Chain A
Amino acid sequence: MADPLLSILGVRKLFGGVAAVCDVAMTVAAGEIRGLIGPNGSGKTTLLNLIGGQERPDGGEIRLDGRRISGLPADRIAALGVARTFQVPRVFRSMTVLDNVLVPACADHRRTAWAQARGRAETLLRLTRLDAMGRMEARALSGGQAMLLQMARCLAAEPLVLCLLDEPFAGVHPAIKARMIETIVQINRERGVAFLIVSHEMSVLGQLAPRVSVMHNGAWIAEGPLADVAGNPRVVEAYLGRGGSGPLSPAAPGGV
């Protein structure tokens, strides 16, 4: 494998003495699409927060392209090309849908010409089928639409080397979901952007991500192609408790 784009080296995060993320070590290669799965409360969102700089690790180190990013403010991490969405969609509610996608073009590190940024934002809105709502206030969007808007905003970032998507398909219509998958694959191919995707939808991850990582109780427990990981006894135990059987086959409930 090539040099890792993202290296997470023994990272730990405590909340009131309880470890939400506990000595996780993993790497993501440049241009890779990686799935991140695990039961509820296993620390997936917290791990994304640590990578994106929304939280500071209590131990360990995170590197991007060999450069330490843990401890940097989130806007500096964004300037290095890390963008993200949130599990509960977060949009700039009083701004228009189009303006939401233009905010990344107003980042302090950006020097993009405005007309170019605008054209790009409009393309992204067409891609997410939000173009008809460009002039509406974002607070008027439905939950699924807000999810799409987040995604468009995330992809409007520049430079962009790594997208952190936290359950991007939750509550999204299957047709739109297919379009999102298409978009992710396209951006990944064309621009070599790596994706780290948290999702409970195994069938989608099976389609998108050649490899997935599994977390349980804040710890990294397995990694590999979804089919292999699904048969791993530790993973089975994490999902079903001792004595369970095969929860993660792509055809299992919870998929599409």
Chain B
Amino acid sequence: MRPPVLIACGLGAAALLPLLLGTYPIHVLTVACYYVILASSWNLIAGYTGLFSLAHHAFAGIGAYASALLAVRAGAPVPAAIVCGGLCAGAAGYGLGSVTLRMRALYLALATWAFAESARIVVSMEYGVTRGDLGLAVPLLLPTSSPRPYYELFLVCAAATVAGLALLLRSRIGYRLRAIRDDETVARAAGVDTVRWKRFVFGMSSGIAGLAGALYGHYVGLLSPAAMQFDEMALIIIMVILGGQRTLVGPVIGAVVVEVASEGLRAYGQLRMVVFALLVLAIMRVYPPGLAGLGRALWTRLRHGQPRRRYHRASGPAT
């Protein structure tokens, strides 16, 4: 089967799932779609562009709070509020990207983490506006208590995100981002305006995260700063690494597997995170292509009797 056919079949099957499943599993899959959007957009900035931002969950939170506050305090219609939430997060991301332009790996990670923590603290402290840890009741997007329309909406949004990223990465912009990831100096020497595209990718990925966060807020109906804790970022990282970074399907698989598994293992509480963390360590050590790479290797083996292309380790010999 060709990939487009495969994708169409997968989407069709996903759309039909509500016919088979009860309310709770559908809710879990809705949340999984939310994480597909977050993981895919983080993969854009961290995987494809090499900017290891640790503020992705904070941008989802910023989008969610901006949208909720617009709807609650200013009475904006929910769809408009969601769009504004995404724009706010995108603008914040663009700003953070501009401030951290010259920072390399570890410093960028630290700076973005500090930003995320500050954002969370501001949200908890400004309880006059955000109601802090008490939680902010948010008007729902759809006038229904059934999870199914939400599931369909999130499914469409997740599919649109992945499709949009696929187009983006195939375009000249995708070349620029991958070139920046591999060697920023050389990308610049080849005429790529690295400053512009690093800001762009920060704004873009944060904007997507903000939209997802806003949408999610108006689905669950209650926001609290807990969603901006670092656990959330860890979860996104786990999903991307487990699924396979720098592939389009990796974060999709990772998000669904991790979300479904962590619901299934709910009884084990925080222990789940330990298991996931160990899994991530093992994958990074033994098989960086992750589940997506594993699937691809199995697929070629099934079709050709042997692996077609050898996988090259990320670190090569020094020059």
Contacts and interface: CB of A to CB of B under 8 A. Distances in A.
A94 B178 contact: yes
A67 interface: no
A89 interface: yes
A86 interface: yes
A84 B191 CA distance: 11
A104 interface: yes
B185 A90 contact: yes
Contact of B312 (A54, A90, A91, A140): A140
A152 B172 CA distance: 19
A140 B316 CA distance: 8
Contacts of A91: 182-183, 186
- Among A75, A78, A95, the most chain B Cβ lie within 10 Å of the Cβ of A75
Contacts of B316: 93, 139
B193 interface: yes
B179 A95 contact: yes
Given A90-B183, A102-B175, A139 B312 contact: yes
Main secondary structure of the interface of B (DSSP, over half): helix
28 contacts: A52-B189, A54-B185, A74-B188, A75-B189, A75-B193, A78-B191, A79-B191, A86-B186, A88-B319, A89-B319, A90-B183, A90-B186, A91-B182, A92-B178, A92-B179, A92-B182, A92-B183, A92-B187, A94-B246, A95-B179, A103-B190, A104-B191, A106-B172, A108-B192, A108-B193, A109-B191, A139-B316, A153-B190
Interface in B146-198: 172, 175-176, 178-179, 181-183, 185-196
Contacts of A53: 188-189
Contacts of A83: 189-190
Interface in B178-226: 178-179, 181-183, 185-196
Interface of B: 172, 175-176, 178-179, 181-183, 185-196, 246, 312, 316, 319
B185 A103 contact: no
Contacts of A73: 188, 193, 195
A146 B319 CA distance: 10
A223 interface: no
A78 B312 contact: no
Contacts of A61: none
Given A84-B189, A104-B190, A106-B192, 8 more contacts: A74-B185, A78-B189, A92-B179, A94-B178, A94-B181, A107-B191, A109-B191, A143-B319
A157 interface: yes
A143 B179 CA distance: 19
Contacts of A89: 319
Contacts of A137: 312
A78 B182 contact: no
A90 B319 CA distance: 9
A108 B192 CA distance: 6
Nearest to B177: A106
A201 interface: no
A84 B187 CA distance: 11
A96 to B, nearest CB: 10
